[in-house]
Amino acid sequence: MNNVLPIEQHPLQPFLPHNARILMLGSFPPKHEKWCMEWFYPNWINDMWRIMGYVFYRNKNHFVVKNIDGSVEKRFDRISIMDFCREKGIAIFDTACKVRRLKDNASDKFLEVVEKTDIAALIEQLPYCTAVVTTGQKATDVVADSYKCNEPSTGSWSEVSICQRKLRFWRMPSTSRAYYLSLDKKAGFYEKMFEYEGLI
């Protein structure tokens, strides 16, 4: 009997608009059956796109697909989100490109990073990028370990040197519902960061 856990390859390509001023890095997408759209932070119960809607439009449902009658579907509008990220200058990927799930779920706690993302290769494609933003503990750990820099406290930044460029390394609260803060408190951290980086 083979008990070796399978290795999962990242299912998405990095989203790297040329004008990006920040690179947001999560850990790894959930299993595909949890997706409500074919893009980053695809789980309906992950609040990333509600936080973005709240911060930039004061409407947590801004990126939720709506029916003609005004009711909402349980999915996010991928095209609208991609257009928004291009307009604001937000690049997105994850800190792991290959993982094993030690338990059959999306929890970072049970995610074994088999191969880290080459973050420097992403930064080289982003000439205007001034900040790396991690969206959870696992992603924060990977960046700090890879570039031997200090882990910032939640909502703060420290300096990281990547590709001989000094960047701000922000640590944001996880957008997972498993993380204890309320949506509006999480949004407050993200809003402060976006204001500091000049996106608001």
pLDDT in tens, 113-134: 999 999 999 999 999 999 999 9
pLDDT tens digit sequence for 152-173 = 999 999 999 999 999 999 999 9
In whole angstroms, give the CA distance from residue 143 to residue 151: 8
What pLDDT, on the 0 to 100 scale, is given for residue 3? 64
Any domain includes 4: no
Structure tokens at 142: 């990977």
What pLDDT, on the 0 to 100 scale, is given for residue 180? 83
What pLDDT, on the 0 to 100 scale, is given for residue 69? 86
Any domain includes 29: yes
CA-closest candidate to residue 148, choices 161, 138, 164: 161
What pLDDT, on the 0 to 100 scale, is given for residue 194? 98
What pLDDT, on the 0 to 100 scale, is given for residue 30? 92
Any domain includes 6: no
What pLDDT, on the 0 to 100 scale, is given for residue 72? 84
Range(s) of the domain holding residue 67: 11-196
Any domain includes 170: yes
CB 152 within 8 A of CB 158: yes
H helix and E strand count, the chain: 5, 10
What pLDDT, on the 0 to 100 scale, is given for residue 103? 76
Any domain includes 179: yes
Any domain includes 66: yes
Number of domains the chain contains: 1
What's the pTM?
0.93
> 121 Cβ partners below 8 Å, 6+ apart?
none
What backbone phi and psi angles, to 5 degrees, belong to 81?
A: -65, -45
Any domain includes 107: yes
Residue ranges in the chain whose pLDDT is less than 70: 1-3, 104-108
Any domain includes 32: yes
CATH number for position 118: 3.40.470.10
What pLDDT, on the 0 to 100 scale, is given for residue 18? 96
What pLDDT, on the 0 to 100 scale, is given for residue 2? 47
